[in-house]
Amino acid sequence: MNDSRTDSVLSTQHLGKTIGGRAILSDISVSLDRGDVVGVIGKNGAGKTTLLETVLGFSPATAGSSQIYGHDSFMLPAAVKSRVGFVPQQDDLMGMLTGKQQLGLVAALYGGWDSGLIDRLAGEWEVPLQQRIATLSGGERQKLSTLLALGHRPDLLVLDEPVSSLDPIARRRFLQQILEYTADQQRTVLFSSHIVSDLERVANRIWIIRDGQMIWQGDLDALKESVVRLHVRASQPLPASLDIPHTLFEQVTGTSAVVAVSHWEQSDPAAVSRRLNADIEVEALGLEDIFLELNR
Amino acid sequence: MFILKPELGIPIYRQLIDQVRRMVASGQLAPGTVLPSVRELADAHTVHPMTISKAYSQLEAEGLLERNRGKPMTVASSQKPQAGIAPRLKQIEPQVEQLVLASRQLDLREKDVTGLIKRKWEQDHE
């Protein structure tokens, strides 16, 4: 196990990225601790890929700063780079090589390549390593890219949409592997996905990006206790706006209303009920519904 | 042993806590029963181990579970199954509240709903 002086794996301070006058990311301050499995969600174009690529130092930030294992992202020493594995959304595999040849090329770049792990996973994931990469399916390419990023057993694994081409069985195997990889609480995984149910399963923390801003970061459990939908019913007509703090969305129709709120764990349901002279039923929301409410 | 549904609005650790509480109250988990390890449960359900350990820690703090150094988590020896019906009824109250609410929304009468409960109850034991 690598010696880690600090539990802070990755952090950013007011990170911003402007490309051609357009702000892709603004004022992002996040941190990642050892053992975390963090899921990043956001609509298409929200800035997920730019965030991952900027914190990994592929291109410089235009505002703020970010560090990996305490080193500036854009000037990572080789020793730190070798502790990071990345699976990009668009793979950069070489079509004319076989999977085995490509693995051999990458393995030669690193010390301590774990061919035992890679052979085992290639078997479990049914990746045809003897075939030319050009002939592989989208799902097989995705699995091969993940093997390439795992072979040097990175302490931080970053994956951009790693499962988009995988079938449900392959996705489940992949998630099991992620958990196995972090089971000793020494390694850290950061991954973006549109498949919210996957994140809901394995992530302990969630980052939600909207229009280049981080609108939520924290424990998945806390998120579920924070964002809820209220079903309000009164015997008299309700006001046009119920004025409930942290309202994300409200729809009032006569004597009933549906209101999505955040920070519900800080509120006093009985007081709200008394003020409105109405019954309030609280509907707990799954991550997909929470994401939709936060993006209305 | 447990039914965990990540897609529900109720956090997974809460689902686990509720189920352990109910099974201890009913005696289905008797004092001294060894629970699956954090790792085993996390693997079986493909969920982050912290989720399971969070539930176990909370149940341990409440005195429902206990763990001796180096030993697996067990149901605390002090936990007697709740012999009286009242404490067990209390455990199921939230579900009954949901049922009553849904029934009112559907404008159903009490006897129709209790009739349905009765039929379901008998079906399960046939």
pLDDT band at A2 (very low <50, low <70, confident <90, very high): very low
Tens-place pLDDT, residues B94-105? 888 889 888 988
Which of A203, A228, A286 is closest, CB to CB, to B7? A286
Distances (CA, A) of A51 to A83, A214, A230, A295: 19, 10, 33, 19
Taking the CA of residue B120 and the nearest CA in chain A, the distance in Å comes to: 26
Which of A179, A281, A286 is closest, CB to CB, to B9? A286
- Amino acid, res. B48: H
Q: What is the ipTM of this complex?
A: 0.76
pTM of structure: 0.82
Could you count the other beta carbons within 10 Å of the beta carbon of residue A95?
11
- Say yes or no to pLDDT of B124 above 70: no
Taking residues A101-123, what's their average pLDDT? 91
Taking residues A133-161, what's their average pLDDT? 94
Which of B10, B43, B51 is closest, CB to CB, to A204? B51
Q: What residue in A sits closest to B49 (Cα-Cα)?
A: A183
The residues near A51 (Cβ < 8 Å, ≥ 6 apart) are A15, A25, A28, A40, A209
Domains and CATH numbers, chain A: 35-54+76-223 (3.40.50.300), 227-294 (3.30.70)
Distances (CA, A) of A272 to A266, B9, B66: 12, 22, 39
Taking residues B42-48, what's their average pLDDT? 92
Write down the residue that tokens 């002279």 correspond to: A277
CA-closest candidate to residue A258, choices A275, A278, A274: A278
- Say yes or no to pLDDT of A4 above 60: no
Q: Considering only A33-37, A149-153, A164-168, B10-14, which range has the smallest mean pLDDT?
A: A164-168
- Say yes or no to pLDDT of A81 above 50: yes
Q: What residue in A sits closest to B45 (Cα-Cα)?
A: A201
Q: Do A172 and B54 touch (CB under 8 A)?
A: no
Q: Do A37 and B48 touch (CB under 8 A)?
A: yes
- Say yes or no to pLDDT of A3 above 60: no
- Amino acid, res. A89: Q
* Side-chain half-sphere CA neighbours of B44 within 13 A: 12
Cβ–Cβ < 8 Å for A130, A98: yes
pLDDT band at B82 (very low <50, low <70, confident <90, very high): low
pLDDT band at B87 (very low <50, low <70, confident <90, very high): confident
Angle between the B38-45 and A168-182 helix axes, to the nearest 10 degrees?
160
- Amino acid, res. A9: V
Of all residues in chain A, the percent with pLDDT exceeding 70 is 98
